[in-house]
Amino acid sequence: MAINIRCKKCKTEMKIGTKKCPKCDTLVPKNKTYKIIVRMNGKRITRTANNLELAREIEAKFKEDIARGEFDIHKKKDSITLNEFWNKYLPWLMENKKSWQADVFYYNKHLKPAFGNKPLATISPFTIESFVVKMKKAKSNRKKPYAPATIKHQLVLLTRLYNVAENWGMYSGDNPCRKVKKPKLNNQVTEFLSGDELNSLLNVLEKWDDKMSTSFILFSLYTGIRRGELFKLTWNDIDFERQFMVLKDPKGIADQTLPLSGKAVNVLKNVPKEYDTQWIFYGKNGQQRTDFKGPWLRIKKKAGLPKHFRFHGIRHHFASSLVSHGADLYTVQKLLCHKDAAMTMRYAHLADKTLRDAVNLSDQLQQKKEPIINLKEHKNGK
């Protein structure tokens, strides 16, 4: 068993401490590649590492396995690389996951450069931990540190790749992601507008010249549906006679039919119709809208809303208002098209007033009852 330095130019193996490659005369760089070599029963197996510390850790692991008799040098290793498996997985992903584009972006951006050329069997928990540390120190294209949610997404995606590879019989080892602790998230933000902030927003919308933008915001305010669902909404999805709309393929669930309030219907009747298009809240030249960031920032600034208040906060405000005024969580869950009740429970604390009223009513119902007096018997002296 040995650890050697590997020449990056001619691939010659050298002893640790060598300054110059004896074959091609190339100086050994600081960022060396180390090769761990194990020989047993006439067989030879190798591993590579980017630093000496990791190389020694791999060597020590081999020694432990051999000492326990658990290292089978004759065992055929899983040779498929992450890239090779990804190419097989991608067609399935595109057919079975709505948000597959996000996975493709994250894989190409983070996982492929770090692990793409590595065989699945050689990616260890230590390698993944090193990847996580590197991401925590790195910055995004916007020069900001990566959020814990972004880092967690990489680990979730990598975990899923290993699980599917195992299910498809393309990998038979342990899933190294199971031994890596995922970042804890605390990103359940529940936003709502105060009375003054709501009044300010409505006043700005009344005077705003861009009526398409005001319609977009008001319809969100009266329905609570997601921004992406507003982008996809067409006139065929609206039944004005019965006052309901159909949301096609909302997040994580089947198509949903939801009632429309009078104000929501009124917004639809006053949406600008400059183009002959199926889209209700259309974008440039009547095409499907894909972004609302610019108009929202301008209107938010004019209304004096907090900088941290997102457009998605309108959806939270819709739900918060209903719950605080007595709507039950099951009803709100259906209106928000939440897949399960767990997401809706973030609004449970807003039902305190309703719960308090119920408790006070219980006081009255459970108190000692006064006896009922029969007036006839009372007059007769009985």
pLDDT tens-digit profile, the chain (382 residues): 677 777 777 777 778 778 788 778 778 777 777 777 777 665 667 777 777 777 778 777 777 766 666 554 444 445 799 999 999 999 999 888 877 888 999 999 999 999 999 999 999 999 999 999 999 888 888 788 888 888 889 999 999 999 999 888 888 888 999 888 887 755 555 567 888 888 999 999 999 999 999 999 999 989 888 888 899 999 999 999 999 999 887 776 677 888 888 999 999 999 999 999 999 999 999 999 989 999 999 999 999 998 888 888 888 888 877 777 777 777 777 777 676 666 666 666 555 556 566 666 666 666 656 665 555 555 555 5
Helix then strand then coil, % of the chain, to nearest 5: 50, 10, 40
Give the residue extent of every domain in the chain.
Answer: 2-68, 82-179, 195-360
Q: Topology of 82-179 in CATH?
A: DNA polymerase; domain 1 (1.10.150)
Right CATH number for 195-360 from 3.30.9.10, 1.25.40.10, 1.10.443.10, 3.40.50.2300? 1.10.443.10
Q: What's the rounded Cα separation, in Å, for the pair 375 and 382?
A: 10
The answer to whether 262 and 307 have CB atoms below 8 angstroms apart is: no
The helix or strand, by DSSP H or E, that contains position 278, with its residue range, turns out to be: none
Under 8 Å between Cβ of 40 and 135: no
pTM over 0.75? The answer is no
Question: What is 234-264 written as a DSSP string?
Answer: BGGGEETTTTEEEESS-TTS--EEEE--HHH
Q: Is 138 exposed, middle or buried (0-12, 13-18, 19+ CB in 10 A)?
A: exposed
Taking the mean position of all CA atoms in its chain, how far away is CA 115?
A: 22
d(CA 366, CA 24): 94
Can you give the C-alpha Rg of the chain in angstroms?
A: 32
